[in-house]
A = this chain, B = another copy of it.
Amino acid sequence: MRDAYHEELDSISDGLIEMARLVGSAMGRATTALLDADLALAEGVIAADNKINDMHHELENRAIDLLARQQPVATDLRIVVTSLRMSADLERCGDLARHVAKVARMRYPETAVPNDLHPIVLEMGQLAQRLVAKAGLVIATKDVDKALEMERDDDAIDTLHRELFSHLLDDRWQHGIETAVDVTLVGRYYERFADHAVSVAKRVVYLVTGEHVNDFVAGSEPAAVAE
């Protein structure tokens, strides 16, 4: 039998897990909309982001109410404050999925991504989705190994991002500037989405191990400008 504080904390944690599920699904659908030039799917992702934003604000309010009513200290306090940050990370993931969907919508009925880049973008989208799914799992299970595993997945996204740029900067690029701009932005959106997902997991690692991992989102570099 858990006390009121831990029951409320569990329900906030459940909310974060649900947010992770929603933004993963949003990014998966946004990627399909982008590659298939599926306007209805893109519109769906854009519309659904409001629900994610509402969940974020509701979770924030519940966390603040919890602080006010239970007055946690020490680790308990850090757990609640960290949940505020994780909610913000996940809310931002939803925005980035919406941005990808908006690129799809803007270029409809054309597809914004040239066919020869579909495999790379598809893989970036799948990895991004997998990362946030793992982040949800890490919130649920506090599995530190799983969390650290995510760094490898994130490295894989950075590698794909560089691959994307090597195509962009190849002299044989024939898709023009507008497509180069779209691909540059879309690549950035996937990279940032992944960074926020990893950030969520690192916050859990910190709570579990007490070892401070530098904030991954703050520390991340765009592949385009990484040395």
Contacts and interface: CB of A to CB of B under 8 A. Distances in A.
Interface of A: 53, 56-57, 64, 67-68, 71, 73-74, 77-78, 81, 84-85, 88, 91-92, 95, 99, 102-103, 106, 165, 168-169, 173, 177-178, 180-182, 184-185, 188, 214-215, 217-219, 221-222, 224-227
Number of copies: 2
A56 B185 CA distance: 28
Contacts of A177: 168-169, 173, 177, 180
Nearest to A94: B218
Contacts of A53: 214-215, 218-219
A225 B106 contact: yes
Nearest to A107: B225
B185 A168 contact: no
Given A92-B218, A180-B180, A185-B224, 9 more contacts: A64-B77, A91-B215, A102-B226, A106-B225, A168-B178, A181-B181, A181-B184, A182-B224, A185-B225
